[in-house]
């Protein structure tokens, strides 16, 4: 999770919302990314999406069987859908997102009967640090 926080801090340094994500399989980091929606001018360039794409390219498969995703903020509906389609084994996330989250808030995508795959979910990992990063980022913008 520390690598995900490093990616989030780097994103904040670039003026992006500080979210970081890392994909790991068998203790090996396959991909790490921070948000790049502004830099890429791409609304889908969330940290999770970028890390999932890079991990899939690294292993040469669209299925990330046996992979775990560490992310500093509860994934949104788009990212939760990608997590399900990628068949991520476990999701670890930091701060919950009551407004935009889709795992333990909002649509609760993985609990829906139409969800193709639901990872094991562990929320609140480094929640205080994740929340502080986000609060500090937005406070500085106001």
Catalytic: 2?
no
Q: Is 115 annotated as a binding residue?
A: no
Q: Is 116 annotated as a binding residue?
A: no
Q: What is the 3-state secondary structure (H, E, C) of the chain?
A: CHHHHHHHHHHHHCCCCCCEEEEEECCEEEEEEECCHHHHCCCCCCHHHHHHHHHHHHHCCCCCCCEEEEEEECCCHHHHHHHHHHCCCEEEEEECCCCCCCCCCCCCHHHCCCCCCCCEEECCCCHHHHHHHHHHHHHHHC
The catalytic residue among 2, 16, 48, 74 is 48
Q: Is 79 annotated as a binding residue?
A: yes
Annotated binding-site members for Zn(2+): 46, 76, 79
Annotated binding-site members: 46, 76, 79
Catalytic positions are 48
């Amino acid at each position: 999770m520390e690598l995900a926080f490093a990616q989030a801090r780097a994103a904040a340094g670039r003026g992006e919302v500080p979210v970081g994500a890392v994909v790991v399989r068998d203790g090996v980091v396959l991909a790490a990314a921070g948000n790049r929606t502004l830099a890429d001018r791409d609304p889908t360039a969330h940290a999770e999406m970028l890390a999932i794409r890079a991990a899939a390219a690294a292993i040469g498969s669209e299925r990330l069987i046996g992979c775990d995703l560490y992310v500093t903020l509860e994934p949104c509906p788009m990212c939760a859908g990608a997590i399900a389609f990628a068949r991520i084994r476990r999701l670890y996330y930091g701060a919950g997102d009551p407004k935009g989250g889709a795992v333990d808030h909002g649509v609760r995508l993985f609990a829906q009967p139409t969800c193709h795959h639901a990872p094991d979910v562990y929320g609140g990992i480094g929640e205080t640090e994740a929340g502080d990063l986000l609060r500090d980022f937005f406070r500085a913008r106001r």
